[in-house]
């Protein structure tokens, strides 16, 4: 990046890097599922993302770290929310994540970690698990 004089870097991480309870998620999600995914199933994945975030923050680049929530499919971009810090929302449409990454080209949120969540047409937890599991099988 230095050789080509590129200063802007936006990376995708995950809200699971720094998990927080979701007010509308309930005990099962907050106390069982979220810790199991981030501390057991995805332990090395989330450790790698934490290390990536450390390296990005230590760089001299104009960086932004984007933390989406559980990814799922929607056919078109919605009125997603991107905020510094934690956003209330357990799901992010992949198309919204892509649109948000492109929007960051304007330099907004430089030197910041942001959450990006989809605020409409979110699946329920069971539907999300079923759909994503089926997509992984195909």
Which residue range(s) make up the domain with 37? 8-137
Q: What is the CATH number of the domain that holds 107?
A: 3.40.50.720
Residues 6+ apart with CB under 8 A from 60: none
- Is 2 within a domain? no
Q: Is residue 104 part of a domain?
A: yes
Q: Model pTM?
A: 0.82
Mean pLDDT by 10 residues, the chain (138 residues): 92 83 65 71 84 96 94 92 85 95 95 93 69 61
pLDDT at 22: 62
| Domain contains 96 | yes
Count up the domains in the chain and report the number: 1
Give me the pLDDT at residue 138, please.
Answer: 47
Q: Report the C-alpha dihedral over residues 112, 113, 118, 122, rounded to 10 degrees.
A: -170
């Amino acid at each position: 990046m230095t050789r080509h004089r590129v200063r802007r870097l936006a990376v995708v991480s995950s809200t699971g890097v720094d998990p927080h309870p979701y007010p509308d998620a309930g005990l099962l999600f907050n106390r069982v599922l979220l810790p199991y995914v981030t501390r057991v199933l995805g332990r090395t994945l989330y450790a790698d993302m934490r290390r990536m975030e450390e390296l990005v923050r230590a760089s001299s680049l104009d960086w932004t770290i984007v933390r989406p929530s559980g990814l799922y499919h929607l056919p078109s971009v919605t009125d997603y929310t991107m905020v510094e810090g934690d956003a209330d929302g357990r799901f992010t449409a992949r198309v919204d994540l892509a649109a948000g990454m492109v929007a960051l080209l304007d330099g907004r949120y430089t030197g910041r970690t942001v959450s990006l969540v989809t605020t409409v047409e979110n699946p329920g937890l069971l539907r999300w698990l079923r759909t994503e599991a089926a997509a992984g099988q195909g």
